[in-house]
Amino acid sequence: MEPETADQKMQDFEIQVNLAEKKQQKPFSEKAVKRDFEMIIISDKKKKKKKNKK
């Protein structure tokens, strides 16, 4: 492997690691809000299905 390609691969790897770290650093509250929002949507869909069955 040539030095330039090794350097480029290392830089690409570092960029990927940095992106992964940023994703993991999302505040807990943001993750919780998203999860709660999804739960609300799911429960709304269940309620609508029950109404349609009546």
Cα–Cα–Cα angle for 45, 31, 23, rounded to 5 degrees:
125
pLDDT at residue 42 in the model = 83
Count, residues in the chain: 54
pLDDT at residue 21 in the model = 81
pLDDT at residue 46 in the model = 80
Q: List the chain domain ranges.
A: 3-53
pLDDT at residue 41 in the model = 83
Tens of pLDDT along 1-54? Answer: 576 788 888 899 999 988 888 777 666 677 778 888 888 888 888 877 777 775
- Segment holding 12, helix H or strand E: helix 3-24
